[in-house]
Amino acid sequence: MDLLPAIDLRQGEAVRLTQGDFDRQQGYGDPAALATRYMEGGARWIHVVDLDAARTGVVHERAALDEIVRLASTSAVSVQAGGGIRTEDAAAELLESAGVARIVLGTAALEDPALASRLARRWPGRVAVGLDYRVGPDGVAEAQARGWLDGSGRAVTDLLDLWAEEPFGAVVVTEVVRDGTLEGPAVEGLTHLLLRTALPLVASGGVGSTQDLYRLAHLKAGGRRLAGAIVGKALVERRFSVEEALAACAASD
């Protein structure tokens, strides 16, 4: 299972939100310094999100992203980037010019699923979809759009079925209420999704300990395992090191 340390960007700073709430933001300083710490710890991926772009569709943090990509290129580290990618031209700019290894489509994929399919076919394995969701009173996991501000009206399982045959590099799955809480990942929901789709799933949200990562690495359903785990707050707050996280991700039965 791949480890993807997360760096969320806002106003040139590395930040973390709690449960997607922009009023519950904590700052963690220079994004490039944080990326360097993660890479020196052995991370082979860095997951970067432009938070304001996710809400507005307008790029805010390109300079910070470019610097992280530059640093990553000197260490053979891959950068996955998301936030505000709404068009094919925006995807091309990141994948063909900026040096990003993989992009994550969020709002655009929900509002125009055909666009997501088209991009996946143009860049096989280099396009991911981000399915951030809230579970409603009816038990249905509804995908969230525009920086988690709006419900999409689409069930996560329906979208997975729709894209079942597309060559996506990953599906990043986040239960919003767990994000930034350090209270543990949504193991039950992830198990259900592993049974539902053959697409590679990357878990995000709630990881607070290496034991959480160990559980995710050992999670198996329908003969399938998770492709990766995104870890944000726990790493930036040094709950454990990148080296310890990598060891937990590499654990096997």
Residue type (1 letter), 237 = E
Nearest of 133, 141, 224, 130 to residue 169 by alpha carbon: 130
Diameter over CA atoms, the chain: 49
CB of 233 closer than 8 Å to CB of 182: yes
**To 10 degrees, what angle do helices 210-218 and 187-196 make?**
20
- Residue 8 annotated to the active site: yes
Residue of 2, 132, 179, 212 marked catalytic: 132
- Residue 132 annotated to the active site: yes
What are phi and psi for residue 15, nearest 5 degrees? Answer: -135, 170
Which residues on adjacent β-strands are paired with residue 151?
144
Q: Report, as residue numbers or ranges, the catalytic residues.
A: 8, 132
